Amino acid sequence: MATINVSEPIVEDAVIGKGTSWRALVIRRLFANPGAVLGMALLAILIIAAIIAPLIAHYGPDSVDILALNQNPTGTHWFGTDYLGRDMWSRVLYGGRVSLPAGFGVIVIAMGIGAPMGLIAGYVGGIVDDLLMRLVDVLLAFPAILLAIGIVAILGPSLRSAVIAVGVATIPGFARIARGSTLHAREQEYVEAARALGHGDFHIIFRHILPNVVDPLIVLGTLSLGSAILATAALSFLGLGTQLPTSDWGTLLSLGYEHMFESWSEVTFPGLAIVVAVLGINLIGDGLSDALNPRLWSG
């Protein structure tokens, strides 16, 4: 008996060609999107620059040049210096090694908790659905940044606390998307067929439901990554995230804004790093959303 792989469907259409796998089609459409390619390039540059920061930074992030305080960009200090004479080029590079992983950490927490909540609520239904969704409603009752600040106040200011706080505040979106997709998928014929064949709930969820929930979660995760980086930077700016001597982009903004009229570069370049990261991620998310939308295949 022939079997159908639900997680990797074969798309047969005159527009896109016969025998094209779903994943291959999505990847092809993603790389055909100029905005998505630009976004991937911007994000790749930031990630690579953060990884090789020790090789391309002119100075250590905490090295002080007392003869160059609050200096705007020069040939020696490409991004200028801060109020202690520290090289901003080096500090922005090293800041990326904190801000970028923090954003990914937020998404891991939010998706790792929210997606299973939505899957269970949507598949089981009944009182389990009601209880889990009321918990989500409680989280939604608070503005995300205020909820994150409250959690950090309980856990204590630190980068780990900021990541956990923003991750918890981001859970509702993943839970609702997973639940909605699960409610739709569980009524499909292939799920009914799996039940008729005697497959258990565990098999049905992971073999038939989850593959149809993953795509919207990936899109949401990509789009939420930019917001996560921005939120963790905001908490660091307020002194609730990364603590000195470690600095992320938010901390650099916080340290530089008091001297911005003496040296505009102290806030400009950390701010630009955040803008480029969020812009690149959003471009990728938009492109991925289009690539996963069958209604746009003929466009």
pLDDT tens figures, 178-233? 998 888 877 777 777 777 777 777 877 777 788 878 888 988 998 899 999 999 99
pLDDT classification of 5: cutoffs 50, 70, 90: very low
Lowest-confidence pick of 49-53, 80-84, 201-205:
201-205
pLDDT value for 20: 52
Lowest-confidence pick of 42-56, 128-142, 196-210:
196-210
Who contacts 103 (Cβ-Cβ below 8 Å, separation ≥6)? 225, 226, 228, 229, 232, 277
Question: Distance of CA 62 to CAs 85, 103, 239, 257, 265, Å?
Answer: 9, 24, 19, 18, 17
Where along the chain do its domains lie? 10-296
CATH class of 10-296: mainly alpha
Whether the pTM exceeds 0.95: the reply is no
pLDDT classification of 33: cutoffs 50, 70, 90: confident
pLDDT classification of 2: cutoffs 50, 70, 90: very low
Q: What is the mean pLDDT of the chain?
A: 84
* Distance in angstroms (rounded) separating the CA atoms of residues 229 and 146: 16
Average pLDDT over every residue of 235-246:
89
* Distance in angstroms (rounded) separating the CA atoms of residues 152 and 143: 14
pLDDT tens for each residue of 244-267: 888 899 999 988 888 888 888 889
* Distance in angstroms (rounded) separating the CA atoms of residues 271 and 257: 11
Average pLDDT over every residue of 123-140:
90
Structure-block tokens of residue 226: 């930019």
Give the rounded percent of residues in the chain with a pLDDT score beyond 90.
Answer: 43
Whether 240 contacts 150, CB under 8 Å: no
Q: Is the pLDDT of residue 47 over 90?
A: yes
